[in-house]
Amino acid sequence: LKLIKSRELEKDEPRPLYMDFQATTPMDPRVLDAMLPYQVNYYGNPHSRTHAYGWESESAMEKARKQVADLIGADPREIVFTSGATESNNMSIKGVARFYKAKKKHIVTTQTEHKCVLDSCRIMEAEGFDVTYLPVKNNGLIDLKQLEETIRPDTSLVSIMTVNNEIGVKQPIKEIGHLCRSKNVFFHTDAAQAVGKIPINVNDWKVDLMSISGHKLYGPKGIGALYLRRRPRIRIEPLQSGGGQERGLRSGTVPTPLAVGLGAACEIAQQELEYDHKHVTVLANRLVQKIMAAIPDVVLNGDPDQRYPGCINLSFAYVEGESLLMALKDVALSSGSACTSASLEPSYVLRAIGTDEDLAHSSIRFGIGRFTTEDEVDYTVEKCVQQVKRLREMSPLWEMVQEGIDIKSIKWTQH
Amino acid sequence: MAASAAVRSAVSLTQRFVRVSPDCSICPLYRLNACTGATDGFTAPSRRLRTSIGVCQSGDSSSPEEEERVVNVVYIDRCGQRIPVQARAGENALHLAHKHGVDLEGACEASLACSTCHVYVSSEHYEKLPEPEEREDDMLDMAPMLQENSRLGCQIVLTPELDGMELTLPKVTRNFYVDGHVPKPH
């Protein structure tokens, strides 16, 4: 990504439109309002049991815990505050695997998970566990039959994310949860992109562990939560040792302002979930239909129905993704996910759904959220169509295709 | 170990003659100033003259029906030493440990308010124990170094089918005794 020169905006330069809601979201002003008093006025440590500063801080933290629990249909005692979904994912995978390692040595996950899940699984492999990375079908969904066959008697954990951050595909979590419960295997889902966007109920879905990220649902950055079922109880080996806060599972002072922010964001999300979903669906359909009507050879990656509408990953054939991003410099977009943008490899998620390498390099992710307007979508579409046409004019591959040559038959020489 | 063995034999001798309160002056632990000072219903005239760990209860009964209710339990303490004890059905694993000088701390005295009596139960006997109630699970959550076979000692009531059970003490409890301090039983 050295091609996109990073530099700060000039003084009067207009800011680009933000269309990257999967990377992060702006904080809702109502969340900021809820957090501010806890930064400068009610600043006590919630674990101080001996004075009012501690008590008021603790009651705010517990209120936030209840707000988070209500959004996912859980009991407040089942929520542990963490520093984000990455920490929650690490705690789940490493914690469950290490706790039950006496008898259970196998972990199942998918090839399209977030990097923190995959990296944790690789570390567990190095510690002596067996990990199966399930392939996905071309639409991005896992095959339930294959999952059932993969589960062994010594499987301790199945980890499958609810909504994918790169292609927006929504996995059949309820069916997976029931399957895992019937086989007595713990089920973890990384719901960072799903919480507050689609209705979630951990009891209907029979989920045992769930990771939640604050800054994906218009909350503050630096806070997240982990849901751990109490009945039947799941235990984990804690990652962070210390004074035993958060039921001994995650020691360390809980950052009250951030927790309050997360709670407020969850409450707002619960109230506005239906409206937001409708808003995002309308805008997403508008974007996709307009682009597809204007230019040919555009592929929507991921299942068209089983998805969260706000995450649209389009591959523009015969156009290089990075150059399109540079051309669209007044819209903030990404190709692949933010966490993969620093490395040079193309997206492994797109590779997993069977996208050819050339198409994988040409993909752009459009993120639509609560604050996106119709004008922003229209502007993005217009610019995108214009730039794709321009880049295709310059593209030798496009020329060849227009002349009728089959690209796949060309033998490229190796340098 | 030799000292506690000596106490056990010495005090059981004392039992036969003294019903109400033991004579601490003959107890080797007291004389060596190493008495851990537990009392089981005895109040001593001064703080330093506390009775030693409740061995001073009537412990022997050799009637035939009682024989069937004998439960053999082995405690493996934090240093790895095996301490086999004989108990009767219905006894509580924490109190039993205190009776025999096993340093299982029971800070809240079996009221389900702490996790200091956390023990690992031998796997064959773990399934035979009844399911923990929610309050026990909640307290157990707070104990460090939990394993699948963890239970709170104060909630384990001995039954004849638990004969041969081994209770291993974890290396640490929630209280930080990194200086080697051993808490006195209450």
Complex confidence, ipTM: 0.76
In B27-170, the DSSP E strands lie at 70-76, 82-88, 118-121, 150-152, 165-168
Pairing mode, strands B150-152 and B118-121: antiparallel
Tell me the nearest-neighbour CA distance from B100 into chain A, angstroms: 30
**Cα A268–chain centre separation:** 19
Query: What are the tens digits of pLDDT across the range A262-296?
Result: 999 999 999 999 999 999 999 999 999 999 999 99
Q: Which of A110-114, A200-204, A321-325, B26-30 has the lowest mean pLDDT?
A: B26-30
Query: What are the tens digits of pLDDT across the range A23-58?
Result: 999 999 999 999 999 999 999 999 999 999 999 999
Q: Known catalytic residue: A339?
A: yes
Q: Edge-to-edge strands of the sheet including B118-121?
A: B82-88, B70-76, B165-168, B118-121, B150-152
- Give the helix/strand (H/E) hosting A365: strand A363-367
Tell me the nearest-neighbour CA distance from B149 into chain A, angstroms: 10
Q: Which of A99, A241, A248 sits opposite B141 (nearest CB)?
A: A248
pTM of the entire predicted model: 0.83
Q: State yes or no: pLDDT of B36 exceeds 90.
A: no
Query: What are the tens digits of pLDDT across the range B122-164?
Result: 989 999 999 999 999 999 998 989 999 999 999 999 998 899 9
Query: What are the tens digits of pLDDT across the range A224-249?
Result: 999 999 989 999 999 999 988 999 99
A204 falls in which pLDDT band (50, 70, 90)?
A: very high
Q: State yes or no: pLDDT of A346 exceeds 50.
A: yes
Residue with the bigger pLDDT between B21 and B84: it is: B84
> CB–CB of A90/A119 below 8 Å?
no
* The pLDDT value given to residue A309: 96
> CB–CB of B91/B72 below 8 Å?
no
Dihedral sign from CA coordinates of A392, A394, A395, A398: positive
Interface of chain B against chain A, CB under 8 Å?
134, 137, 141-144, 146-148, 174
CB contact under 8 A, A230 and B143: no
* The pLDDT value given to residue A203: 96
Pairing mode, strands A331-332 and A17-18: parallel
> CB–CB of A23/A216 below 8 Å?
no
Residue with the bigger pLDDT between B81 and A5: it is: B81
B34 falls in which pLDDT band (50, 70, 90)?
A: low
CB contact under 8 A, A100 and B148: yes
Q: CA angle at residue A269 from A247 to A381, to 5 degrees? A: 130
Searching chain A, which residue's CA lies closest to the CA of residue B176?
A243
Q: State yes or no: pLDDT of B77 exceeds 50.
A: yes
B28 falls in which pLDDT band (50, 70, 90)?
A: low
Q: Which of B142, B144, B148 sits opposite A102 (nearest CB)?
A: B148
Pairing mode, strands A209-213 and A106-110: unpaired
* The pLDDT value given to residue B17: 42
Tell me the nearest-neighbour CA distance from A176 into chain B, angstroms: 25
Which residue in B148, B151, B171, B175 has the most chain A C-beta atoms within 10 A of its own C-beta, making it the best mutation to test that interface? B148
Pairing mode, strands A363-367 and A311-316: antiparallel
* The pLDDT value given to residue B29: 53
Cβ-based contacts of A249 with chain B (< 8 Å): 141
Interval A387-414 mean pLDDT: 84
Q: State yes or no: pLDDT of A411 exceeds 90.
A: no
Q: Which of B137, B142, B147 sits opposite A244 (nearest CB)?
A: B142
> CB–CB of A51/A57 below 8 Å?
no
CB contact under 8 A, A248 and B134: no
Which residues lie below 8 Å from residue A390, measured CB to CB, with a gap of 6+?
Answer: A327
Query: What are the tens digits of pLDDT across the range B103-121?
Result: 888 889 889 999 999 999 9
* The pLDDT value given to residue B54: 44
Q: State yes or no: pLDDT of A314 exceeds 90.
A: yes
Please state, in angstroms and rounded to a whole number, the distance separating the CA atoms of residues B181 and B36.
12
* The pLDDT value given to residue A187: 97
Q: State yes or no: pLDDT of B88 exceeds 50.
A: yes
